[in-house]
Chain A
Amino acid sequence: MSTAMMPVNASQAKTLVYCSEGSPEGFDTALYTAGTTFDASSKTVYNRLVEFEIGTTKVNPGLAESWEVSSDGLEITFKLRSGVKFHSTDFFTPTRDFNADDVLFSFDRQRDEANPWNSYVEGASWEYFNSMDMPALIKDIVKVNDLTVKFMLNRPETPIIANMAMDFASIVSKEYADKLEAAGTQGLLNQQPIGTGPFQFVAYQKDAVIRYKAHPNHWAGKQPIDDLVFAITTDNSVRTQKLKAGECHVAPYPNPADIAGLKADDTLNMLEQEGLNVGYLAYNTKVAPYDNPKVRKALNMAINKQAILDAVFDGAGKAAKNPIPPTMWSYNNAIKDDAYDPDAAKAMLEAEGVSGLKMKIWAMPVARPYNPNARRMAEVMQADFAKIGVEVEIVSYEWGEYLKLSKAEDRDGAVLLGWTGDNGDPDNFLAVLLGCSGVGGSNRAQWCHQPFDDLIIKAKQEPDQAKRTAMYEEAQVIFKEQAPWATVAHSVVFMPMSKKVTGYKIDPLGGHWFTGVDLAE
């Protein structure tokens, strides 16, 4: 029996227990899109070329020490860190350090259908890589030498650097993959991961426990804790009880009803932060009378956001005035939200010649952080709109259908939906959700406003961050004037943890990181 199998003695090893909310789907991050899977794989076992600074959306060097963008914006050259060690475990002992071959392997398997690893598991769709438009963006990836890799692009696009910090861009070991391929056991890449990350995988007991230990030779130094354990606990109330009973140190996603009790507990700390998300009501701007910005503005003025925060978010929300969340760079705080004023709204509608208006509001059938109860939100809006003489019918569909039908350009009604950021870049909200290219797709307002679209396309290609910030701030002003959506709320993320835990930071992107986290004696 190896030492890892002995009971952990608190005086010898520092073990942090995280009560996670679900089982990971697998450990090869790029195959999946769920945050629970990312926490268990990319946030622990892997590194990426660049990394988000934990607690922010700022991009820092990771496995790449530095990078250079060519003057035409079409080539990005990454200088790789030397001497980076992969994990050495019971099932794999690396014979070489990390190099350019690992980078090429990690991306080629996702972008090249001829690559034997492209379909090594049934139904591998590399969904995030595809949905971030990487196949259209990347022309080629070339190894310059062992420690230099060049990405050649089809068009200049600054946010691609932030994409490189995303979970799907995690770097896996080519040497390990080769070994598995030779043994005919490729599937193990998704079950027993090897990376360069701060924690190395030890064991996974299905639906119960995942064990990691600190990577002793991590390039940024060993972690303060020795062992990290994920105790999978799916029920929110039970997770809270486990935290209170001292069976875990950190437990995410408490029930809103438990938050006050957790805050009052002397043994616990409660961190909170707005999530990188937005919940909105998207009008169909192609259909009259919602093609008139003044009508949309009037409807926005009739919505009592405070009532929604109380009824739907149970205090765990913040009113949204912009389409991007306040934790994101370029958030324009100077913008004033439309004041709640039913009388003025009514007068404005009358001035536009709109009377006896009947509209549909689509309510999502599922709970999401940006909208925990869409039905109730729709009911509050129904009551608000009734006050200005607008009659609302609430409709809903099965989730898959809802997503599909709400994309239609001739859709009848306004849609409740939201978005959680992927890479911390404003482009990931403004272009995806409000750009002309998203009409008939992710742009549920079907809103194509040329001055806005020109601005965000220009900003996407601009390498200078200060200039980009100014452009996005201006784009938010246009958005507010045009009002294609009623921006409703950003959820607030609560993270209760034992007072012994130090150095934990809430990730605005929704992940759970244990890098740099320690346990006080």
Chain B
Amino acid sequence: MFAFFLKRLGLLIPTFLGITIIAFGFVRVLPGDPVLLMAGERGLTQERYDALLKQFGYDRPIWEQYFEYLGNLLSGDFGNSLVTKQPVLEEFFARFPATVELSLCAIILALSIGIPAGIIAASKRGSFLDQTIMGTALIGYSMPIFWWGLLLIIVFSGTLGWTPVSGRISLLYYFPDVTGFMLIDSFISGQKGAFTSAIRHLILPSIVLATIPLAVIARQTRSAMLEVLGEDYVRTAKAKGLSGRRVVGVHALRNAMIPVITVIGLMVGTLLAGAILTETIFSWPGIGKWMVDSIFRRDYPVVQSGLLLIAAIVMVVNLLVDLTYGLINPRIRHN
């Protein structure tokens, strides 16, 4: 198992280097001059422009800039934002808990509905219920997130007034950040109603962010389940006279979960991509919204280091998934 772990870890290094090149190169092929944008549109003399270009090192050959960037990264310096002038790492971690909190709620929601829905659909294969579940999943998968989010806001917040429109907590509550996770901070603040308010604010964004993963998980669970249900050991279990619930819940489900876990790992990337839109709609102060704002402002250091940090997170989560996979299925680690 340790050798398996080392092998996986070793693969991360070239992947990480590849991502630094992509992040660095990608930002530089974007049209737009960061110095002009930083300085504003109101005119900049050529001398001032040259001075700023030099100050940021954008006048130097691109490979020289890349190696300096890589060197800084290795010493833990992710650069400063051109806009706020603050360290990128500090900016990232100020927003990261908000994204994690929302993503966790979304994935819990997706799993707690998606897996049972997939199991039901598989065990009632071909029935009206199966078709309804799979049809709904297809709609969920194809839903334009922005439209879906706004629709929910208009119906549940605007017309019915059941949920708040946006934000993380009612503005009536104010307490210092301890963990950055609103559910925890509101709970330990001891302020009456704060925790409930934080939960109410999570409902709509979690639903919107969970929609695509939920659909994928439901479909994946269904097809994995169908495959397993046709296996000999399931037939044997049935022949032994076990109840249908026990056959599905114990014998089939455990084996069907292996591909589902892989999908969950891949979903982390989807969640972070979905967070960009969801956070923008719900004014959720996470890293997705931060990245979008930074791209529009041509904030080079934020975009390239932000991309890198997000990629690193996806890589680490996938490593963990691979390891879990290896734990569940010994054949993988021995191969």
Q: Report which A residues bind B (CB closer than 8 A).
A: 1, 4-8, 15, 17, 22-23, 25-26, 31, 33, 121-125, 127-128, 130-131, 187, 190-191, 203, 205-209, 211, 229, 231-235, 237-238, 241-242, 244-245, 247, 398-401, 403-404, 441-442
Residue on A with the closest CB to B171? Answer: A229
With A7-B172, A26-B85, A206-B94 already in contact, the answer to whether A234 and B280 are too (CB < 8 A) is yes
Residue on B with the closest CB to A246? Answer: B161
With A17-B171, A245-B157 already in contact, the answer to whether A400 and B290 are too (CB < 8 A) is no
Residue on A with the closest CB to B52? Answer: A125
Interface segment, one of B13-21, B251-259, B262-270, B281-289? B281-289
Q: A238-B153, A241-B166, A247-B167 are in contact. List 5 more A-B contacts (CB 8 A).
A: A125-B38, A130-B45, A191-B86, A245-B164, A247-B171
Set of chain A residues within 8 Å of B193, measured between Cβ atoms: 7
Q: Report which B residues bind A (CB closer than 8 A).
A: 31-33, 36-45, 48, 52, 55-56, 80, 82-86, 91, 94-95, 150, 153-154, 157-158, 161, 164-168, 171-177, 191-194, 280-283, 285-286, 289-290, 293
**Of B80, B84, B164, B282, which contacts A25 at CB under 8 A?**
B84
Complex Cα gap A206–B279 (Å): 13
Chain B at the A interface: SS class: loop
Give the shortest distance, in Å, between B266 (CB) and chain A (any CB).
Answer: 28
In this complex, which of B32, B38, B161, B171 has the most chain A Cβ atoms within 10 angstroms of its Cβ? B171
Cβ A205 vs Cβ B285 within 8 A? yes
Complex Cα gap A208–B283 (Å): 7
Set of chain B residues within 8 Å of A398, measured between Cβ atoms: 31-32
Cβ B42 vs Cβ A33 within 8 A? yes
With A26-B85, A238-B165, A400-B36 already in contact, the answer to whether A209 and B171 are too (CB < 8 A) is yes
Cβ B82 vs Cβ A123 within 8 A? yes
Complex Cα gap A23–B95 (Å): 13
Set of chain B residues within 8 Å of A209, measured between Cβ atoms: 167, 171
Cβ A190 vs Cβ B85 within 8 A? yes
Cβ A234 vs Cβ B55 within 8 A? no
With A190-B85, A400-B37 already in contact, the answer to whether A232 and B285 are too (CB < 8 A) is yes
Cβ B48 vs Cβ A125 within 8 A? yes
Cβ B176 vs Cβ A5 within 8 A? yes
Cβ A242 vs Cβ B55 within 8 A? no
Complex Cα gap A416–B286 (Å): 37
Between-chain CB contacts (< 8 Å), 15 pairs:
A5-B175, A26-B85, A125-B38, A125-B52, A131-B40, A190-B84, A205-B285, A207-B95, A209-B167, A233-B283, A238-B281, A241-B158, A245-B165, A247-B165, A400-B33
Set of chain B residues within 8 Å of A242, measured between Cβ atoms: 165-166
**Of B161, B191, B289, which contacts A207 at CB under 8 A?**
B289
Residue on B with the closest CB to A24? Answer: B84
In this complex, which of B48, B165, B167 has the most chain A Cβ atoms within 10 angstroms of its Cβ? B165
With A122-B85, A123-B55, A208-B285 already in contact, the answer to whether A231 and B32 are too (CB < 8 A) is no
Set of chain A residues within 8 Å of B192, measured between Cβ atoms: 7
**Of B31, B41, B153, B191, which contacts A7 at CB under 8 A?**
B191
Cβ B42 vs Cβ A241 within 8 A? no
Residue on A with the closest CB to B194? Answer: A7
Set of chain B residues within 8 Å of A203, measured between Cβ atoms: 174
Cβ B283 vs Cβ A33 within 8 A? no
Set of chain B residues within 8 Å of A441, measured between Cβ atoms: 43
Cβ B43 vs Cβ A238 within 8 A? no
Set of chain B residues within 8 Å of A241, measured between Cβ atoms: 153-154, 157-158, 165-166
Set of chain A residues within 8 Å of B52, measured between Cβ atoms: 123, 125
Cβ B280 vs Cβ A244 within 8 A? no
**Of A187, A235, A245, A399, which contacts B85 at CB under 8 A?**
A187
Set of chain B residues within 8 Å of A187, measured between Cβ atoms: 85-86
Give the shortest distance, in Å, between B202 (CB) and chain A (any CB).
Answer: 14
Give the shortest distance, in Å, between B145 (CB) and chain A (any CB).
Answer: 13
Residue on B with the closest CB to A365? Answer: B31
Complex Cα gap A431–B174 (Å): 49
Give the shortest distance, in Å, between B140 (CB) and chain A (any CB).
Answer: 22
Residue on A with the closest CB to B90? Answer: A206
In this complex, which of B42, B80, B86, B158 has the most chain A Cβ atoms within 10 angstroms of its Cβ? B42
Residue on B with the closest CB to A233? Answer: B283
Complex Cα gap A17–B174 (Å): 14
Residue on B with the closest CB to A10? Answer: B172
Cβ A234 vs Cβ B56 within 8 A? no
Set of chain A residues within 8 Å of B191, measured between Cβ atoms: 6-7
Complex Cα gap A102–B164 (Å): 44
Set of chain B residues within 8 Å of A124, measured between Cβ atoms: 85
Complex Cα gap A203–B94 (Å): 14
Give the shortest distance, in Å, between B104 (CB) and chain A (any CB).
Answer: 19
- Identify the 6 closest CB pairs spanning chains A and B, nearest first: A207-B285, A33-B40, A121-B85, A131-B42, A208-B285, A398-B31
Cβ A403 vs Cβ B153 within 8 A? no
Cβ A131 vs Cβ B43 within 8 A? yes
Set of chain A residues within 8 Å of B158, measured between Cβ atoms: 241, 244-245
Complex Cα gap A192–B41 (Å): 27
With A122-B80, A208-B167, A247-B164 already in contact, the answer to whether A128 and B42 are too (CB < 8 A) is yes
Set of chain A residues within 8 Å of B33, measured between Cβ atoms: 400
Give the shortest distance, in Å, between A512 (CB) and chain B (any CB).
Answer: 17
**Of A191, A247, A400, which contacts B32 at CB under 8 A?**
A400
